[in-house]
Chain A
């Protein structure tokens, strides 16, 4: 009997410890989730760090997508992509069942900047969008304006997330799948486009019908009266004059229903990530 009591008591104690420990773990996780700016490289003053952190946290809560910044003085993982993906996955970031979020990784030793996306973040931040952010912030990082770069990053992230919520992620024509199902069918815009195409089609058809009513026209060529086989080309010349190259920024890989293209890969945790980066 005594032994049985002892067993119950021990079990109860174990359960209590497990419960408490679990609670502590979850508290720790919650505490970590709140840190949206993890400035291990100490690039930002404490006051600024707290302000940016708060802005990022509010942004993440409001749009159901974690927006994170992580800086390192030197990293043990050689690849910026892996470092960013792993930090995102193993620190418990990501909202919703898809673990949606976007993370900006800055490594001061290797001078790498990388943006890692997951879940709906992959849709909202497609390749063009990531390129755009990097275009904007890389020069700032390069010149040491970290606060400015992080503020810019936060601002663009908010803009891109709102665009994705409206069904038109950056660089897409609006026919994309959008983000978290919140996007609406852009009825007025599609109405306008349909009307424009309809007028063009109707006009072309009317022009074609009018053309077949008028069969009298000058015949400006004597091509019907060429003596068969009489044409001889004696000399042919070709001279290169000049060359010009124009470049247009890639907007989107249009067509289909996916909108802007996002290249993805698997991280060490097996999760699907989007992303892109460069040196600053």
Chain B
């Protein structure tokens, strides 16, 4: 059985969306604005009425169990009655027939319900502007890329994240060197003294994120960090209206491996920063014990853009909270050689002239 939720305007019945600039729900048809809490309460009341209809929906969906097994689910749009086929992990989407935002309630119920959400702060226009800005001042970008690339898709997605809180008790070891130079009339001397350095202590981490969706490349999601958890609010499904969302398909146990690695690196680096008075310091092992561990399930806002150029797909991502925009761009090899040649040429002439000048003087 698959069940969806749409947010209908209590005034005109149109499908309403979350407006990131207002941080409220707004009906695009009658421009009425609603507070999230008010609408959530309203929807609860409405859903009580609809409970009796649920049985009917279930019976009508029975024939689609085969699709369920294949990882697909079918939903019926309540605005137009069209059938929506979606990935089993989909938590929010748009009806392909009437463009109404829909929320798959089954994906955010019970244990699957996110604990918190950072609502979108930046809208689609900001994402487009971010993309235009991203292409600026890129010397190696093929000249035709700006005009010839086609934005195939631009989607605001709530990406499922696992957030980890922990306290790290660390016993870190480092190797340091101090160097002393002196010289007499015949030789230059270099004395290197080697030290074993230790640092014991603790450090706490809060809301270390790990992407819980296998569809989202981890590198891309780590590149748009950091997210500021201060903007997080308790989850309400109404925030999904107008956006796409997936439920997690990578659980916290799998995510913890990467989080441990990042916590270990940050701990080693921060304790290393307390070591002063050495010419060089390198980590030399140690151990970290984690305690007071806590996880929570959150939804973070991400704009994803797909563009196609020369038959190749390029994916870009923008942090929907901070506006940080990332994505690898194609490189024009001709331009690369050209700039290499220009820089080398200038350096060659400058160095040669300097050497000639030094000789003359």
What residues of chain A have their CB less than 8 Å away from a CB belonging to chain B? 127, 131, 167, 175, 185, 190-191, 193-195, 197-203, 205-206, 209-210, 212-227, 230-250, 257
Contact = CB atoms under 8 A, between A and B. Distances in A.
Contacts of B188: 247-250
B307 to A, nearest CB: 14
A121 B326 CA distance: 65
A161 B11 CA distance: 103
Interface string B197-212: 1111111111111000
A190 B326 CA distance: 44
Most chain B CB within 10 A, of A191, A217, A227, A231, is at A231
Contact of B271 (A233, A239, A247): A233
A202 B355 contact: no
Contacts of A197: 347-348, 351
A221 B265 contact: yes
B355 A227 contact: no
B156 to A, nearest CB: 19
A220 B351 contact: no
A249 B187 contact: yes
13 contacts: A167-B359, A194-B352, A201-B347, A218-B223, A225-B207, A225-B226, A226-B205, A226-B266, A230-B167, A238-B176, A240-B195, A246-B190, A246-B192
A241 B192 CA distance: 11
A233 B200 contact: yes
B84 interface: no
Contacts of B271: 231, 233
A62 B187 CA distance: 34
B339 interface: yes
A148 to B, nearest CB: 23
Contacts of A234: 200-202
A144 B182 CA distance: 35
Interface in B249-290: 259, 261-263, 265-266, 269-271, 274
A214 B190 CA distance: 40
Interface string B111-132: 0000000000000000000000
A167 B360 CA distance: 12
Contacts of A205: 339-340, 343
A147 to B, nearest CB: 27
Contact of A202 (B202, B325, B340, B361): B340
A222 B356 contact: no
Contact of B222 (A175, A218, A241): A218
A239 B203 contact: no
